[in-house]
């Protein structure tokens, strides 16, 4: 069996007994029922995933930043030059990006995965930063996994972004990274992305999976003017028209091959890998949301392993979250990516598990429950 098939077979829904036990325990803890709001729902989700109540603390955590370039950049959908993707990879490895600051705060390790950066990283990678595999990732310094599937995708508005084989290779790369991190002892995975123009591919994927129209799911990404936004909507619409047969009849692999990016496919694999190992994965913004739709199409129960870290300002993200049935933990109007929104949610997810595991019950604390 291929790695992808094996992983898809291993993805199973939440354990009903552990889910019930967590719901029941939440109702006996010393607080009004439901008073911890979404934290209660997250703790129940993690219990169902782990198959035990309370679930293990989701720590240590690792952020995987999947980096790749996009042929659709040629359509003028982003004001930033493509070279910025590779330059930001160097910045992640030097510890200077927003995700590095947030990961240091929450004690998460950072691994950058070159899934398909188009420009050369020669001379940009600090000594000692290259790791052989994800088991070498630690919180001391960010690591690079050099696993380019191809140097950037084709332009999804004029042809398929990649071949089916390349999409499978990128999915299996994400699975390999998830497996390596779990083997290394990480018990919470966090998605990150870097790829100039990747909000265009995200919008196309979200429209393809949800049926929402291009103008509803396409946003300003890094920040574009009205003229560029109109062009971006037209590019997404053209891509949906061009690939309409795949959108109607294709499976998740064919859809991500036609309309996605290498980081989207790799993040979908990362989600599937986490789900198969029953380790929670905190999703970042619109890129992660669109990648999770790919994972959901391939193995619906993969969503049971996901926590939506935040809701991004990119309009397609709310559409993706609704289709995934996920409620975001925070909404800080972020529109950055890299894993920033998900990393900010890590302490909240850990607090949710701490409440379920550590709070006293009405019985054990001798606190009177309200009569019913
Ligand atoms: C300096 C810089 C750092 C970033 N970090 C994440 N992104 C984010 O912005 C990009 C997507 O936006 P669009 O589709 O509009 O190009 C992605 O690389 C994403 O990770 C960045 C973008 C820039 C410019
Ligand atoms: O939602 C995101 O993660 C996002 C939004 C804008 C630009 N880059 C990423």
pLDDT digits (tens, 9 = 90+) for 326-340: 999 999 999 999 999
Average pLDDT rounded to a whole number, residues 343-354? 98
CA distance 202 to 319: 11
Residue 192: φ, ψ to 5°: -140, 160
Query: Rounded to 5 degrees, what angle do the CA atoms 281, 284, 289 make?
Result: 90
Q: What interface predicted TM-score (ipTM) does this complex get? A: 0.99
* Mean pLDDT score across all residues of the chain: 98
**Domain assignment of residue 372, yes or no:** no
83 belongs to the catalytic site: no
Q: Looking at the structure, do residues 106 and 13 belong to the same domain, yes or no?
A: no
Domain of 300, CATH number, reads 3.40.50.10210
Predicted confidence at residue 370, as pLDDT, reads 84
CA distance 142 to 237: 38
Q: How many domains does one find in the chain?
A: 2
Does ligand 1 come within 6 angstroms of the Cβ of 146? no
Q: Looking at the structure, do residues 263 and 137 belong to the same domain, yes or no?
A: yes
Average pLDDT rounded to a whole number, residues 301-321? 98
Tell me which of 263, 338, 358, 372 is the catalytic residue.
338
**Domain assignment of residue 371, yes or no:** no
Residues spanned by the domain of 79: 61-349
Chain segment 167-222, per-residue pLDDT in tens? 999 999 999 999 999 999 999 999 999 999 999 999 999 999 999 999 999 999 99
Q: Which residues contact 175 (CB under 8 A, 6 or more apart)?
A: 3, 4, 7, 269, 270, 272, 273, 276
Domain of 25, CATH number, reads 1.10.1610.10
- Is there a cis peptide before residue 163, judged by omega within 30 degrees of 0? no
> Which residue CA neighbors atom 13 of ligand 1 most closely?
197
CB contact at 8 A, 323 and 231: no
Q: Looking at the structure, do residues 38 and 185 belong to the same domain, yes or no?
A: no
Res 372 pLDDT > 80: no
Lowest mean pLDDT among 34-38, 261-265, 350-354, 367-371: 367-371
Chain segment 140-158, per-residue pLDDT in tens? 999 999 999 999 999 999 9
- Which ligand is closest to the CA of 79, given by its number? 1
**Domain assignment of residue 116, yes or no:** yes
Q: What is the pTM of this model?
A: 0.99
């Amino acid at each position: 069996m291929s790695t992808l098939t094996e992983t898809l077979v291993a993805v199973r829904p939440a354990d009903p007994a552990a889910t019930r036990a967590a719901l029941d325990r939440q109702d006996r803890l010393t607080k009004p029922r439901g008073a911890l709001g979404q934290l209660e729902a997250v703790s129940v989700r993690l219990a169902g995933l782990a198959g035990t109540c309370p679930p293990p603390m989701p720590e240590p955590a690792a952020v995987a930043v999947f980096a790749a370039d996009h042929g659709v950049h040629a359509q003028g959908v982003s004001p930033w030059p493509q070279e910025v993707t590779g330059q930001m990879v160097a910045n992640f490895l030097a510890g200077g990006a927003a995700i590095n600051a947030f990961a240091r705060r929450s004690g998460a390790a950072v691994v950058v995965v070159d899934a398909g950066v188009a420009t050369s990283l020669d001379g940009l990678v600090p000594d000692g930063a290259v790791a052989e595999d994800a088991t070498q990732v630690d919180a001391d310094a960010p690591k690079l996994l050099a696993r380019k599937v191809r140097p950037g995708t084709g332009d999804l508005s004029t042809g398929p972004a990649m071949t089916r084989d390349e999409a499978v290779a990128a999915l299996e790369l994400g699975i390999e990274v998830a497996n390596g991190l779990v083997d290394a002892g990480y018990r919470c995975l966090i998605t990150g992305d870097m790829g100039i123009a990747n909000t265009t591919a995200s919008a196309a994927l979200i429209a393809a999976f949800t049926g929402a129209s291009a103008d509803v799911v396409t946003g300003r990404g890094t920040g574009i003017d009205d003229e560029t936004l109109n062009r971006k909507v037209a590019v997404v619409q053209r891509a949906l028209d061009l690939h309409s047969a795949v959108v109607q009849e294709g499976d998740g692999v064919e859809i991500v091959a036609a309309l996605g990016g290498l980081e989207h496919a790799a993040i979908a694999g990362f989600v599937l890998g986490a789900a198969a190992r029953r380790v929670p994965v905190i999703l970042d913004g619109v890129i992660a949301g669109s990648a999770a739709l790919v994972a959901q199409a391939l193995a619906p129960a993969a969503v049971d392993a996901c926590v939506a870290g935040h809701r991004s300002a990119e309009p397609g993200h709310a559409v993706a979250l609704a289709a995934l049935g996920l409620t975001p933990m925070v909404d800080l109007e972020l529109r950055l990516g890299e894993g920033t929104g998900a990393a900010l949610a890590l302490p909240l997810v850990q607090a949710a598990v701490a409440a379920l595991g550590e709070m006293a019950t009405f019985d054990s604390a001798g606190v009177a429950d309200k009569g019913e």
